[in-house]
Amino acid sequence: MKKIQMVDLKGQYNDIKDEVNNSIQNVIETTTFINGPKVHEFQKNLETYLDVKHVIPCANGTDALQIAMMGLGLKPGDEVITADFTFAATVEVIALLQLTPVLVDVNLDDFNINIEAVKKAITSKTKAIVPVHLFGQCANMEAILELAKTHNLYVIEDNAQAIGANYTYKDGSKVKAGTIGNVGATSFFPSKNLGCYGDGGAIFTNDDALAHTIRGIVNHGMYERYHHDVVGVNSRLDSIQAAVLDAKLKRLDSYNQARLYAANKYDAAFKDIDNIVVPFRNGLEDSHVFHQYTLKIKGVDRDALVKHLSEKNIPCGVYYPIPLHKQKAYLDARYKESDFEVTNQLVKEVISLPMHTELEDDQIEFITSTIIKFING
């Protein structure tokens, strides 16, 4: 059995080595490092893949979120509602722009933002909702869009973990995660489902005017050379990263299929284990791209399990161990612990297993049997 890794980027690279090396070499030979043709090509290919009018590449996923909020013209004091159970980047940019983050609880089943909690948190100052499609599956976008319409709010999707996932409306029509709200933000961090070999990110929107605004913001607020109409940032995807991403985009669906295959194997192995709750799925195979495969463990000492797995050379992760509302940087006297019952429970129960495109059957079998033996004592 090969050594088990949480994420196996080397194995994935070996399969696409020639194509990626040639494409990177070409960028170097042509010295088109910034805003080269490769960036444009990747942008167009991603627009086609996502069926979205505008993709604006940028330097990383955190920038993508920040620039999306800048593009919408959010102002200091505006309240932005997001999930308590997510990576800190989401709330960080809200705070950085001097907007007011309003953290709310999530669902026990799919780990995504809870609609009733969002409803309760809306005030006259609320300007936007940021659903995070956590671990690879969309939040309840139909309900979020409805709330946004009623209260005149923007919807900014944090799609760092769900690129390629489909969202299915009640009428059966499908759209890609990240293209549903006013604007979507994604990350191409190496371990994401579509990852480059460094930092990268992108913003998606179907709104022509917003796309125009954002294209200026990513480039120092310039719409005409050396005319700075708004305060912008410098946030670019470099051409070498675009070369990697363009090669991997062609394979994104098969990469996500490989993740789904592993998730199905895990699910099957754990189905009769009472102490384990496997990841909830909304029922459709194409709705979850398994950025993480995250179990809830009941009545088992999680720390002891993590230690045991590490002794057996099985890596695992706890995403996330501390709710954002308890992080020093984001404490807010208005929060009540009773408002975060689910997140407070999840941080104690979740454990994420190795998940990547190169997992092999014997590795999955070793991981699942080791966990089951531990639980059954």
Ligand X SMILES: *Cc1c(COP(=O)(O)O)cnc(C)c1O
Q: Is 161 in the site for ligand X (CB under 6 A)?
A: yes
Residue 325 DSSP code: G
CB of 376 to ligand X, least distance (A): 33
Q: Is 61 in the site for ligand X (CB under 6 A)?
A: yes
In the complex with ligand X, the residue whose CB is nearer, 248 or 265, is 248
Q: Is 87 in the site for ligand X (CB under 6 A)?
A: yes
Contacting ligand X (CB under 6 A), which of 50, 129, 153, 160? 160
Residues 6 or more apart from 266 whose CB is under 8 A from it?
278, 293, 353, 364, 367, 368
Cα-based distances in Å from 251 to 178, 192, 254:
19, 14, 5
CB of 292 to ligand X, least distance (A): 9
CB of 9 to ligand X, least distance (A): 15
Contacting ligand X (CB under 6 A), which of 23, 43, 62, 182? 62
Among 57-65, 169-177, 202-210, 349-357, which window interacts with ligand X (CB under 6 A)?
57-65
Q: Is 216 in the site for ligand X (CB under 6 A)?
A: no
What CA–CA distance (Å, rounded) separates 158 from 151? Answer: 20
Point out the residue whose Cβ comes nearest to ligand X: 61
Q: Is 66 in the site for ligand X (CB under 6 A)?
A: no
What CA–CA distance (Å, rounded) separates 175 from 100? Answer: 30
The residues with which 100 forms a beta bridge, in sequence order, are 79
Let me know: does 202 contact 56? Beta carbons within 8 Å. yes
The two three-digit tokens of residue 359, written as one number = 């997992």
CA atoms within a 13 Å half-sphere pointing along the CA-CB vector of 46: 30
Contacting ligand X (CB under 6 A), which of 32, 60, 287, 294? 60
Q: Is 290 in the site for ligand X (CB under 6 A)?
A: no
Which sign does the torsion angle of CA 337, 342, 348, 351 carry? negative
The two three-digit tokens of residue 338, written as one number = 């009773």
Query: Which residues are designated catalytic?
Result: 192
What CA–CA distance (Å, rounded) separates 96 from 157? Answer: 18
In the complex with ligand X, the residue whose CB is nearer, 58 or 314, is 58
In sequence order, what DSSP letters do the residues of 61-109 get, joined into one string?
HHHHHHHHHHHTT--TT-EEEEESSS-THHHHHHHHTT-EEEEE-B-TT
CB of 252 to ligand X, least distance (A): 17
- Give the footprint of ligand X on residues 169-188 (CB under 6 A): 187
Q: Is 205 in the site for ligand X (CB under 6 A)?
A: no
Contacting ligand X (CB under 6 A), which of 85, 111, 189, 330? 189
Q: Which residues here bind ligand X, judged by CB under 6 A? A: 60-62, 86-87, 89-90, 132, 158, 160-161, 187, 189, 199, 201
